[in-house]
Chain A
């Protein structure tokens, strides 16, 4: 597989703080690659570096065989971007937004016009073609932003938190569209802090914190590499006290968060049997998931 994006040793500082601190990545054609991390981990800055919108203080980037940021313009002809915040043109209709955006790529009006029906259908906005942007719902705006990012038929699409702020129906629809894109051989690079999104969509993931990649691999690898396979969540007023007496001896690891105890174990059977004795405690037994990995790697404290 030929790499579409190669980044080595990226560093970017703002006011003496290393927002991106030695990131190296290799992303291949047709892959959906996810950057996962809490707020302020450096995900968006990494995307901006890869796109050549800002210059790294050190490190090298190749995007579609173009050196970035030197040759960013040539690379961006083959790139689409879905930004975190909507920046559609509010004065224009759905179709006008696509039209105007296509011109920025040097496309002729006829060429854009020819792509419109396909783009509108992909975004499920054919019936909204001549509607002005402010009257669209949040999900429709996101879909239009996605269609806009496809106007130049890009090889690589960058998506910065593509489903933040959407309701479940709208999120599922975006996910389905993104899967269609990877099925067509497009390369996707997305940032997210939704674990289910990362788990469903991404072939490979990098977990970022404090400007560094702290773990990288397929969702399964991340779980297998970083965490015990089974989780028992125990709830109730006495959960914390119970944990100090029992979990401390019978789990590989446990974490207390308010009235919940998360017990991480290789084999949950002994623990489950013991829990039968405590009728006042409720519990949930489940396989470990990406969220467990994420919380283990980046901690439970709030990031603001």
Chain B
């Protein structure tokens, strides 16, 4: 029970993942609709509306350009909302964690289950957007299937980051800081809506350290049928955010629940 101890990785998180899946299944309809409606509206509205006035962006139609960004910010949002709002409800409001901790399952297992569950929501979200992209005929390459594992990786990254915020949150209001100060700037600075090189040099530096930039760097060529130029570096950044976020959030949860 040492606060800074190495995470204890085991498969005991699976029954908790199944519990969350059972809850989700009961509301699967509205959930899937939510995963589809938001990206479709953005892609159709901005993609055709704004895109109609624009020449090619980054060597492709604006809507094709936007589709890669949409996959990434949708998966980011799915994991973030799940790790923050739903995670907090399970930890604090419904006392689900408390019930689980009375069984042979430990906090390390619970944190792992939260990360994998939130990443599963990202996976679902990524698949939903990919289907829309295919239906709209915005990608014709088999390479686009790599969006599926990428969604999982992006999900793990943002789930782990989000759990840090959940571990520190006194209440739901606290999450506004994260969304206003982290998620929204990321959506605008990371090449979702326009190429990063349009930004002033200083903001480009900021952009280069944000994880969503690296997700977009991977998604855009994949949908376009080419191998991402910095594939190893981009994946490493996402994985690093995931691992550091996992460890930091675990330490914070251990502190919080030791009370």
- Name the residue on A nearest B95 (C-beta): A87
Contact string against A for B residues 14-28, beta-carbon threshold 8 Å, 1 for contact and 0 otherwise = 011011001100100
Whether B102 pairs with A76 at a CB distance below 8 angstroms is yes
Whether A100 pairs with B104 at a CB distance below 8 angstroms is no
> Can you give 21 A-B contacts (C-beta < 8 A)?
A51-B102, A53-B101, A55-B258, A73-B106, A81-B102, A85-B98, A87-B94, A89-B94, A89-B96, A89-B99, A91-B26, A100-B15, A100-B22, A103-B15, A104-B15, A104-B103, A104-B105, A105-B103, A105-B104, A106-B12, A106-B15
Which residues of the other chain, A, contact B198 by a CB distance below 8 angstroms?
A: none
Docked Cα-Cα span, A106 to B109, in Å, equals 13
What is the size category of the interface that chain A forms with chain B? 20 to 34
The A/B interface has a contact count, at CB < 8 Å, of 64
Contact string against B for A residues 48-88, beta-carbon threshold 8 Å, 1 for contact and 0 otherwise = 00010111000000000000010001101101010101111
Docked Cα-Cα span, A205 to B101, in Å, equals 27
Docked Cα-Cα span, A133 to B18, in Å, equals 19
B142 within 8 A of A: no
* Interface of B toward A, CB cutoff 8 Å: 1, 12, 15-16, 18-19, 22-23, 26, 94-96, 98-106, 258-259
Known: A89-B94, A91-B26. A104 touches B1 (CB 8 A): no
Which residues of the other chain, A, contact B12 by a CB distance below 8 angstroms?
A: 106
Interface set, chain A 89-125, CB cutoff 8 A to B: 89-92, 96, 100-101, 103-106
Q: Is the interface of A mostly helix, strand, loop or mixed?
A: loop
- Name the residue on A nearest B14 (C-beta): A103
Interface set, chain A 9-57, CB cutoff 8 A to B: 14, 51, 53-55
Name the distance in Å between A282's Cβ and chain B's nearest Cβ: 47
Whether A101 pairs with B98 at a CB distance below 8 angstroms is no
- Name the residue on B nearest A81 (C-beta): B102
Whether B104 pairs with A106 at a CB distance below 8 angstroms is yes
- Name the residue on B nearest A82 (C-beta): B102
Known: A54-B258, A76-B103, A106-B104. A87 touches B98 (CB 8 A): yes
Name the distance in Å between B206's Cβ and chain A's nearest Cβ: 39
Name the distance in Å between A166's Cβ and chain B's nearest Cβ: 19
Docked Cα-Cα span, A81 to B22, in Å, equals 23
Whether A73 pairs with B19 at a CB distance below 8 angstroms is no
Whether B15 pairs with A83 at a CB distance below 8 angstroms is no
Whether A91 pairs with B16 at a CB distance below 8 angstroms is no
Besides the contacts A90-B94, A91-B22, A100-B19, what 8 more A-B pairs have beta carbons closer than 8 Å?
A55-B1, A76-B103, A76-B104, A83-B98, A85-B98, A91-B26, A92-B23, A104-B100
Whether B18 pairs with A83 at a CB distance below 8 angstroms is no
Whether B103 pairs with A69 at a CB distance below 8 angstroms is no
